[in-house]
Chain A
């Protein structure tokens, strides 16, 4: 597929707050200010309640799983960031799609349903909670809230789930099933007893076909390209580090805003995925390849390693 895809907007909810506070905190190397001591102190409304986010879009149903709420709000922010007015969606609802990744899905709602079933001596499962159980509920509820009627998909996979997500989004756009996809995730970790940052996240990218973004006069976005390395030798099982933590703060200003001229900005993330020394030459080769491929095209790029067990993929991001 040779369709050019651009990222024109981002919506984000995180334990570090919304998008602005998230990137500021990342730049400062700050820790999450939002901590809860186990299940008891997490407000029932989850992250939106904790962050004090009220949106009329949250009225779409009486009961909303917290992940659904987070998805609604993050899609709303991504739309606004991309300069897409609600009227634009209302006039062309099938032109917009939603594609989310799921791991645990609405687990808290399922937990609650079990609790309630026990309280009712196993006789009656809540139909409201049952309706909100499914892995596709965040995506479907976000569609209802925003009137988005194009392709609505939720996918799960293994360690390269982020890459799967971006590729599937690209497929939808390249095959013209819609011209804009809100893609990303709204997820949570199980709430343990230990104090930890609020374990809910949602991040939504607004991805569009480049020509559509140009036609509608979108502000300059970021083009996504993928460079995949064939690596037939990598069939040994390897466990990647479970937590991806940057070794040091991202330099300010943010790389995306700083890309200009012919200088490449290599963030030298080290080995954040715990890939291991034998993979690093591959990473080096990948960086060189990326440079060759993108040199002569516009400006700089950020190379992010994304690995799967069977190979290493580098996701290159260049200014569009």
Chain B
């Protein structure tokens, strides 16, 4: 088994991803609501105040941290994103990337 990168070692369950996202929102994006008070259904833009500048940074941080890619189209319209929806996207991307790895390893 090849060495797993940090991003591949992420526990891919919703609860952990949500917790990690909250931490990123507070520490890296300066959301002023404490982590414990951020709710899943909070809108990133209107409830948490993540503006267009913050959104670009959030996407970059997520791509780097989880080894995933979020396309321009997928990332469009930051005002449609809730924490719930975003964590769902991250989970799906991680799973898709792992699915690809499993397939490619099968060709060994």
CB distance from B97 to the nearest CB of A (A): 20
Main secondary structure of the interface of B (DSSP, over half): loop
Expressed in whole angstroms, the minimum distance between the Cβ of B53 and any Cβ of chain A is 5
Contacts of B53 in A (CB 8 A): 127-128, 131
How distant is the Cα of A131 from the Cα of B29 in the complex, in angstroms? 12
Residue B41, interface by CB 8 Å: no
A63 CA to B31 CA, complexed, in Å: 8
B42: CB under 8 A from chain A?
Answer: no
Determine the distance from Cα of A61 to Cα of B48 in the docked complex, in whole angstroms.
Answer: 11
Chain B hits for A293, CB < 8 A: none
Q: Is A126 an interface residue, CB under 8 A from the partner?
A: yes
Confirm or deny: B50 has a beta carbon within 8 angstroms of a beta carbon on chain A: yes
CA distance A144 to B93 in the complex (A): 38
Q: Which of B54, B56, B60, B61 contacts A62 (CB 8 A)?
A: B54
Interface size class of B (residues with CB under 8 A): 10 to 19
Which partner residue on chain A sits nearest B61 by CB separation? Answer: A124
With contact pairs A62-B50, A62-B51, A62-B54 given, residues A128 and B29 touching in the complex (Cβ less than 8 Å) = yes
Which residues of chain B in 13-72 are interfacial with respect to chain A, using CB atoms and an 8 Å cutoff? 28-32, 48-51, 53-54, 56-57, 60-61, 64
Residues 117 to 155 of chain A near chain B (Cβ within 8 Å) = 123-124, 126-128, 131
Q: Are B57 and A126 in contact (CB under 8 A)?
A: yes
Closest-CB distance, A140 to chain B (whole angstroms): 14
Q: Chain B residues with Cβ under 8 A from A123's Cβ?
A: 64
Interface-centre pick from A116, A127, A131 (highest chain B CB count, 10 A): A127
- Provide the bound-state CA to CA distance between A124 and B60, in Å: 9
Count residues on chain A whose CB falls below 8 Å from chain B CBs: 10
Contacts A62-B29, A62-B30 given; does A128 touch B49 at CB 8 Å: no
The complex places the Cα of A124 from the Cα of B31 at a distance, in Å, of 18
Residues of B within 8 A of A (CB): 28-32, 48-51, 53-54, 56-57, 60-61, 64
User: What are 12 A-B residue pairs whose CB atoms fall within 8 Å in the complex?
Assistant: A61-B49, A62-B29, A62-B32, A62-B48, A62-B49, A62-B50, A116-B28, A124-B57, A124-B61, A127-B53, A127-B54, A127-B57
Given A62-B49, A62-B50, 18 additional A-B pairs, CB 8 A: A61-B49, A62-B29, A62-B30, A62-B31, A62-B32, A62-B48, A62-B54, A116-B28, A124-B60, A124-B64, A126-B28, A127-B53, A127-B54, A127-B57, A128-B30, A128-B53, A128-B54, A128-B57
Interface residues of A (CB under 8 A from B): 61-63, 116, 123-124, 126-128, 131
